[in-house]
Every structure is written in C-alpha cells, then in structure tokens.
C-alpha cells in the first residue's frame, strides 16, 4: 500500500509541480497547503505517513513543523525540500529527526528515492548536499549496534585489549569477546574481509558522538 502524503509550499508553481509529479507517479497525495500553519493542521487532522514541506513558509517553517511533530510525538515522517545549502540548517534538520532533506533543484529526481528510503524505515539526505558540504556521514551499520557494543568498539579504537576493556567496563574478558563477536556479525566484517580494529579506527569520530 502506498504511503499517504501531504505537501506544502508557499510558491504556487512549485506546489503544483510537486503535486503533479507525485500524482503522475501514482503516490497517495491526500492534500496540499500553502503555509506552515495549514500544513501542520493537515498533519494533525489527516495523520499522513509523510509530509513534504518547504523549509521556508509563512507562519511555520518546515523545521518548526518538524519540531512540533517531534514534541507532540506525531508519527508523520518529515521530508524537507529547500534551496539552502548551509551546514547549520543541515545539522538542525538532523537534530530534529527529519527523515528526508532534498534540494529543490534535484527534487523531482531525488524524491522517489527519498520516499522509497523512508518507506523502508531509512532516512534520506540529498547526496548532492552532502557532497557540497563535504560532510562525512557515519556508516548506517553503526545504528545496528547497542550502546554497550558502541562503547566496546570505541575502546577497541583506542587500542585497548579485551582484558583492558573488561576492567574498564567491570565485566569479564569473555563478555567482551562476545560483544566483539556480535559486532563483527552485525557489521558483516567477515564476508567483507574487514578488520574490527581498522573499522573502529576509521569510525572513531562517530563513536565519540554515539557513546
């Protein structure tokens, strides 16, 4: 079953183009809005799976709507469309648990990929934007690890042995070896011919943020 969608943009031509594109692709578009206040009302009233919102709109911006949805535990997943390419806005969007961030100049090319990613429970941030900002993203596999496994991986990155990690975490060497085995399995390192120590070192900066 197709995800239900509402769209909002204060530029009539962009709104029409977006609506026509989604309908042509046979997406389930429930309604559209021309400002943030209308968009948020539609989200509350219709409870769509996805809301595609312009980042700058009268009354409420796309980011402000995302913040309200987060605060009110609304399940609608937010996709922001924008011309803006600054890192501060990108980081704010990430902090608000926005699922999609698409540049308007690539919107019709990227939206299908974005909606498909969201339908599979993943987020989608414009590759063009990430490349433009020269942002290095954390590997998605890290999200598979538990907080304890991330802590173990961080200590591995610091060249700690299983015995040393066990002492730091007040657990046995055997428990640490089990954690390492689980991490290797989750990261699929064996089939990739990868090393746990090398992976830990290469991703140490992301582990600092996650532990």
Summarised one tens digit per residue, pLDDT across range 87-121 is: 777 778 777 878 888 888 777 778 888 998 888 88
Cα–Cα dist 62/70, whole Å = 12
CATH 1.10.10.10, applies to 140-210: yes
CATH 1.10.10.10 segments of the chain: 140-210
Full-model pTM: 0.63
The number of C-alpha atoms within 13 Å of 106 and in the hemisphere containing its C-beta is 14
The residue whose two tokens read 């990227």 is 110
- Residue 153 · residue 207 · CB < 8 Å: yes
The whole-angstrom separation of Cα 179 and Cα 197 is 13
Residue 33 is encoded by which pair of tokens?
Answer: 């809005």
Which pLDDT score is estimated for 138?
59
Question: What are the pLDDT digits (tens) for 15-51?
Answer: 998 999 999 999 999 999 999 999 999 999 999 999 9
Reading the block at residue 62, the tokens are 């796309």
Is 8 exposed, middle or buried (CB count within 10 Å of its CB: 0-12, 13-18, 19+)? buried
Domain 4-133 has CATH 3.30.70.890: no
End-to-end CA gap in the chain: 38
Residue, of 137 and 62, whose pLDDT is higher: 62
């Amino acid at each position: 079953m197709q995800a239900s969608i509402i769209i909002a943009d204060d530029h009539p031509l962009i709104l029409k183009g977006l609506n026509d594109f989604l309908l042509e692709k046979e997406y389930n578009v429930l309604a559209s809005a021309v400002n943030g206040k209308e968009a948020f009302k539609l989200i509350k009233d219709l409870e769509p799976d996805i809301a595609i919102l312009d980042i700058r709109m009268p009354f409420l911006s796309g980011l402000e709507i995302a913040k309200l949805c987060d605060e009110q535990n609304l399940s609608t997943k937010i996709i922001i469309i924008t011309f803006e390419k600054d890192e501060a806005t990108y980081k704010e969007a990430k902090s608000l648990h926005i699922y999609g961030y698409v540049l308007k100049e690539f919107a019709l090319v990227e939206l299908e990929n974005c909606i498909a990613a969201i339908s599979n429970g993943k987020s989608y941030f414009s590759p063009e934007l990430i490349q433009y900002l020269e942002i290095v993203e954390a590997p998605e596999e890290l999200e598979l690890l538990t907080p304890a496994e991330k802590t173990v991986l961080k200590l591995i990155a610091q060249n700690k042995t299983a015995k040393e990690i066990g002492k730091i975490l007040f657990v046995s060497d055997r428990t640490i070896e089990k954690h390492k085995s689980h991490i290797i399995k989750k990261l699929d390192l064996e089939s990739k011919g990868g090393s746990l120590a090398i992976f830990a070192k290469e991703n140490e900066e992301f582990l600092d943020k996650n532990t």
